[in-house]
Every structure is written in C-alpha cells, then in structure tokens.
C-alpha cells in the first residue's frame, strides 16, 4: 500500500487525545456521521488507545484498532459483527508489528473519509498513519 507521507500541522504542540466515543456524532440512513472533533483533527497528530483486532497473520503492516478486545478475527468469519467505531492503523513504510492482546496507544496523523486499500480491499472511514505504537500496561 503506497500512500503519500502525512505531515502534522506545524503549529501543533503535540498529539491530541482522541477517544472512540468522539469519532461519530450519530448516524442515519447514509451511515455514521463524523463528529466535529474528528473532522477538526483530520490531518493532525492524534493519540488513541484501544486493542488490536485479531489479525490474519503473525506480522502486521497495518491493524484495526477497536474499543474493546475482540475474541475472533473479524476477517475470518462472515458472521462476525464489526463494531462501527474502528480505526485502521497504518504502520510507517515497511515496518511491521507483532499482534498483542494488550491495550495499545497509537500516535500518528489522522485521516478520515472512505478509502479502499488497493492491496487488501479493506475499506476504512478513519485511519491513523502511526509514528508510534506503545503497549499499555
């Protein structure tokens, strides 16, 4: 997956904390509606905490961040219910991470809007191009 490099706002003093409850302001017939906070942070550096959804393979170049731990791989079961408030986390060029069941804190640049990954076909509404992923103990 090749995406242009993202740059945070030069006037920013540091990443802004973003919670899952702050992603959407509601929904309707056309789907979920981005919150004003989410729209205002697009293109800026944020930090967000959550859990990695169980992956398909042992090394990851991207993962799905969820509010709560998931017990099964959402890609592996057609019956699995995806939570609506998920965030796709993209790792920097060529870097990989090992999956964990621990909570993680992701720091990186926020992007919003529907995007389909040409390599995997995964469709995302909210993405973070991660600079850093830390385990929370």
Residue 104 falls inside a structural domain: yes
Alpha-carbon distance 38 to 2, whole Å?
24
Q: What is the pTM of this model?
A: 0.81
| Full domain range(s) for residue 35 | 16-135
Please, what is the average pLDDT of the chain?
A: 83
CATH code (residue 94):
2.40.50.870
Alpha-carbon distance 63 to 65, whole Å?
6
pLDDT reported for residue 6: 42
Residue 5 falls inside a structural domain: no
For residue range 38-62, what is the model confidence (pLDDT) as tens digits?
999 999 999 999 999 877 666 778 8
What is the DSSP secondary-structure string of the chain?
A: ---PPP---TT--SPEE--GGGSEEEEETTEEEE-HHHHHHTTSEEEEEEEEPPPSSSSBSEEEEESS--SS-TTT-TTPPPPSS-EEEEPSTT--B---SS-EEEEEEEEEEEEE-TTT--EEEEEEEEEEEEE--
Count: domains in the chain:
1
For residue range 85-99, what is the model confidence (pLDDT) as tens digits?
899 999 988 788 888
Residue 57 falls inside a structural domain: yes
pLDDT reported for residue 2: 31
| Residues 91 and 29: beta-carbon distance below 8 Å | no
């Amino acid at each position: 997956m090749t995406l242009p490099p993202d740059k945070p706002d030069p006037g920013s003093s540091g990443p802004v904390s973003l919670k899952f409850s702050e992603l959407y302001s509601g929904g309707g017939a056309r789907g979920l509606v981005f919150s004003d906070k989410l729209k205002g942070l697009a293109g800026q550096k944020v930090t967000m905490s959550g859990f990695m959804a169980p992956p398909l393979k042992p090394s990851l170049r991207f993962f799905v961040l969820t509010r709560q731990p998931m017990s099964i791989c959402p890609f592996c079961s057609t019956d699995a219910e995806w939570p609506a408030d998920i965030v796709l986390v993209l790792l920097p060029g060529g870097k990989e991470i090992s999956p964990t069941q621990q909570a993680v804190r992701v720091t990186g640049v926020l992007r919003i809007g529907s995007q389909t990954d040409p390599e995997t076909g995964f469709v995302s509404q909210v993405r973070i191009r991660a600079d850093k992923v830390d385990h929370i103990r």
